[in-house]
Chain A
Amino acid sequence: MFQANIVRHELRRSLKSAWWWALGIASVHLIYLPFFRTFADNAAVLEKSLKQFPKAFLEAFGMGRISMATVLGFYTLIFLLVQILLAIQAARYGVALISREESERTADFLMTKPVSRLAIINSKLAAALTALLATQAVLWLVAFAGWAVFNAGHGYDQGRLALILSSALPFQLFFLSVGLALSQMVRLVRNPTPYALGLGLGMYALSAFNHMAGEIKLEWLTPFQYFDPATLALNGYEAHFLALDLAVVGVALALGYWRYLHRDIPTVT
């Protein structure tokens, strides 16, 4: 159930914005990577001092789990910032997916055409997903190319880097689908930006605090924890978090679809 011309139309619009997001992601890499060399030298001192403490203790505080003197360790710093951008991008696409037609008053144009709502949402989702994948392709490219240039003689496990990068897909799916569900729960989204920022940065803030040890655990609330860069670099995916992520995606999509297929389209004045 797809409508080819909607896919084309949406793709043309979303690829234009995907290009800017990709540019942002590339800039973060280009700003950070040149400092790996000096940072690695400094961090060598750190290694020594950290060794004095019991490992379990350090891990509890989310520090010193991975050495910043290594390529993958340093990359966790970069990837966290990249995740913020990926989160906001995906959330924005999700929130705006349907609501954009309403806030820009084109919903009546589109929905009086002989297409089912199912075909509309499928096509738009396919286009948004393509734009996200295009962004991720750029991410893979700059990550691998960047490290080839700036590795400062340090070797690294390329498979592990690929694994970290691959997490971008389930990570963005979370924000895309939750954003979509969110947009369909309110009557009318006039401007998707606050919603996208709230979702993306809110999840980031939750995760930032979870990095510190404490009484309550919040890791099951935020995809920044499902796909924590340091954990990915050290241990790979955690099966239960990946499953949880996909479950949330499934539920959010179901909710978004169900609402869209059954709701009144508001007129905007």
Chain B
Amino acid sequence: MNIIETQDLTKYYGQVRGIEGITLSVKEGEIFGFIGPNGAGKTTTIRTLLGLLFPTRGSARIFGKDVVRHGPEIRRDIGYLPSEVFFYEGMKIRDLLHYAAGFYPGDHTQRIQELTAYMELDVNRRVDELSYGNKKKVGIVLGLLHRPKLLFLDEPTLGLDPLMQRRFFDLIQRENRENGVTVFFSSHILSEVQRLCNRVAIIREGHIVEVSDIRALQQNSYKKVTVIAPDLTPDSFQLPGVADLRVEDGSLRFYFKGDINQVLRRLAALQVQDVTIEDPTLEEIFMHYYA
């Protein structure tokens, strides 16, 4: 079952493009990565899905319901962690959490206690005196306190120290594994997407460039090949499917997409000193998309 489904979702701010023709679906229980550089339209997409922005064209459904018409109903089961969190001045963390919990039916006291303990938060502190990282922690508790079925994370690790990042990832993975929470994870840091996500969509200048299984993206598309041999020239590997070929200090490096046997045949004809054929990191794939 698809938790999120968008159809040609488009948002213009006056004449300025936010996103254009976004069509994607997120399945129940998956951790869906949404990657792209700053200004690509990640936050616009999330804010449109949350009903903060009205689409210029197209539509989006969450839990099978239209986001424009059924916003409040949908949001009952959504948690959101914005990239930068802001709270009401002069409130204590405890009061803020209590206020937020009041929007969801049921008693969340115990869950709040668990989460604040896990994130090591002192609930007696005032929200406007918190550091960036501590605000983020409060944001995490706010996003999870009502046991949402779908979680939107917008650049969630920004401002968290490595230790807390790890805790946070563990928490998200646990929520996903044990409670079946679907996660929509927007980021420009690929290593964390790589670590967490099952599938990713790459967004660039408001358009989806590619949606792919994370392993497929790494394994099936490109191989990174490094060859060290005497008398190498760039011509040694002039093949269809070779990209970004570089010669450095007697080593040759390129990315290859296609039948790997072609490369092996060329290699067999050479007297190689060393050769590696590996999966590129997401970072490298990413560079390729934005090149």
Contact = CB atoms under 8 A, between A and B. Distances in A.
A114 B73 contact: yes
A112 B50 contact: yes
Output the residue of A5, A119, A263 with the most chain B CB within 10 A: A5
Interface string A100-126: 000011111101111110010000000
Contacts of A263: 54
Interface of A: 3-5, 9, 104-109, 111-116, 119, 262-265, 267
B53 A265 contact: yes
Contacts, number: 64
Interface in B29-70: 43, 47, 50-54
B54 A262 contact: yes
Contacts of B72: 114-116, 119
Contacts of A9: 99
Q: Chain A at the B interface: mostly helix, strand, loop or mixed?
A: loop
A115 B99 CA distance: 13
Contact of B99 (A5, A105, A114, A116): A5
Contacts of B142: 109
Interface stretch (B78-86, B211-219, B259-267): B78-86
Contact of A106 (B71, B75, B87, B104): B87
Contacts of A104: 86, 88-89
A114 B104 contact: yes
Nearest to A112: B80
B62 to A, nearest CB: 12
24 contacts: A4-B102, A104-B89, A105-B84, A106-B88, A108-B47, A108-B50, A108-B80, A108-B82, A109-B86, A111-B51, A112-B75, A113-B75, A113-B100, A114-B76, A114-B78, A114-B104, A115-B72, A115-B75, A119-B72, A262-B54, A263-B54, A264-B52, A265-B52, A265-B53
